[in-house]
Amino acid sequence: MNVTLGRTETISVGQMIEEKKKQKKAFSFEKMVPSILLITAIISVLTTIGIVFTLIFETFEFFSRVSIVEFFTAKKWYPFSATDASFGIMPLIVGTLKVTGIATLVAVPIGLATAIFLSEYASEKTRKVIKPILEVLAGVPTIVYGFFALTFVTPILREMFPSLEIFNALSPGIVIGIMITPMIASLSEDAMSSVPNSIREGAFALGATKLETTFKIILPAAMSGIMASIVLALSRAIGETMIVSVAGGATPSMGWDVTSSIQTMTSYIVQVSTGDAGFGTTIYFSIYAVGMTLFLFTLIMNLLAQYISRKFREEY
């Protein structure tokens, strides 16, 4: 049996039934999608809650054995000492901040310069070539960066600075800066590209040069996105593990000398996790206290990035 639609189209009853079945299946799948997305969201939230509660419970166990005042005020970190153990986290925080500071000095100028070039000066063809290469850099495993710092960057630096030790803060700091540069460049370029062309055209119409337009108009207009990208990149630098574990050393120090061996919070966690401490010991629980401190650092950086993004956001 055929059904005539209009003047030219003829559809059989069987085809109409099949079409209805396809529409019903599509409708059923569309009804399932929100449930699937809700389940994945719940799993993500529960995973985060599980991680936080694990850190909290084990950290409380550590502070039941070690004074929290000593943990945050003592200036020595000697957890493996059999006679005079000290759990002052300040040397680990100083080591982390040294590496992060060096990474900032490397990544921010290079990342912003790259973003300015890609957004304001590069042709579309050049942008399509350079930006994927930057994103490939962001995907290189950090262990590769670590051995690159130890076997390539450190020997070059030792030729320039003979007093530089094999394990030091300078080499991993530079390489971490290289690692986070693509994040700053990509996010900053996105923020600058989102500034409407009408603003650029208005600046050119008033007689501004391209350089003046870039630094006096575009950068201030995109400042919220740029600052958020920098803060997020620094958060990544603070939590970096393998580069500092391979090239930074394992010597907690309160000094600000970048040529000597250091130990960061993440590298200490790696050291203990590889089997240097037995399960249930004070040293074992110390990695959770250090991990909680690192978690708070990262949380503060992420909240700061969100605040900056909201505070200085420009709407067009």
For residue 302, being part of any structural domain is answered with yes
pLDDT tens digits for range 105-135: 999 999 999 999 988 888 888 888 888 888 8
Look up the pTM and report it: 0.82
The pLDDT value recorded for residue 173 is 92
CA distances from 160 to 154, 166, 170, 259 (A): 10, 13, 12, 12
CA distance 243 to 146: 4
Residues 100 and 132 in one domain: yes
pLDDT above 90: residue 196: no
The pLDDT value recorded for residue 152 is 92
CA distances from 70 to 8, 13, 94, 222, 263 (A): 88, 82, 16, 44, 19
The pLDDT value recorded for residue 82 is 66
Q: How many domains would you assign to the chain? A: 2
The model's confidence at residue 23, banded by pLDDT at 50, 70 and 90, is: low
- Single out the residue in 10, 42, 64 at which a domain terminates: 64
Residues 49 and 176 in one domain: no
pLDDT above 90: residue 85: no
The pLDDT value recorded for residue 110 is 92
pLDDT above 90: residue 235: no
The model's confidence at residue 315, banded by pLDDT at 50, 70 and 90, is: low
Mean pLDDT estimate for the chain? 83
CA distance 150 to 246: 7
The model's confidence at residue 3, banded by pLDDT at 50, 70 and 90, is: very low
Residues 247 and 170 in one domain: yes
The pLDDT value recorded for residue 148 is 92
Can you give the residue range of the structural domain that contains 21? 2-64
Residues 33 and 126 in one domain: no
For residue 287, being part of any structural domain is answered with yes
pLDDT above 70: residue 12: no
User: What's the CATH code of the domain at 230?
Assistant: 1.10.3720.10
Q: What is the CA radius of gyration of the chain?
A: 27
pLDDT above 70: residue 275: no
For residue 71, being part of any structural domain is answered with no
| Averaged pLDDT, 270-287 | 78
Look at 2-6, 27-31, 267-271 and tell me which has the smallest mean pLDDT: 2-6
Residues 147 and 274 in one domain: yes
Residues 42 and 100 in one domain: no
Residue type at position 30: E
pLDDT above 80: residue 309: no
For residue 237, being part of any structural domain is answered with yes
For residue 90, being part of any structural domain is answered with yes
Look at 129-138, 153-162, 293-302 and tell me which has the smallest mean pLDDT: 129-138
The pLDDT value recorded for residue 2 is 44
Q: Are 161 and 90 in contact (CB under 8 A)?
A: no
Residues 39 and 85 in one domain: no
For residue 69, being part of any structural domain is answered with no
For residue 167, being part of any structural domain is answered with yes
Q: Are 154 and 249 in contact (CB under 8 A)?
A: no
Residues 43 and 98 in one domain: no
Residues 149 and 235 in one domain: yes
The pLDDT value recorded for residue 171 is 92
Residues 52 and 103 in one domain: no
Tokens found for residue 272: 């203990």
- Signed CA dihedral, 143, 146, 151, 153: sign only: positive
DSSP string, 208-272: --HHHHIIIIIHHHTHHHHHHHHHHHHHHHHT--HHHHHHT-S----S--TTS----HHHHHHHI
- Single out the residue in 37, 64, 91 at which a domain terminates: 64
| Averaged pLDDT, 147-176 | 90
Residues 106 and 196 in one domain: yes
Q: What percent of the chain has pLDDT over 90?
A: 14
pLDDT above 90: residue 175: yes
Residues 52 and 97 in one domain: no
For residue 72, being part of any structural domain is answered with no
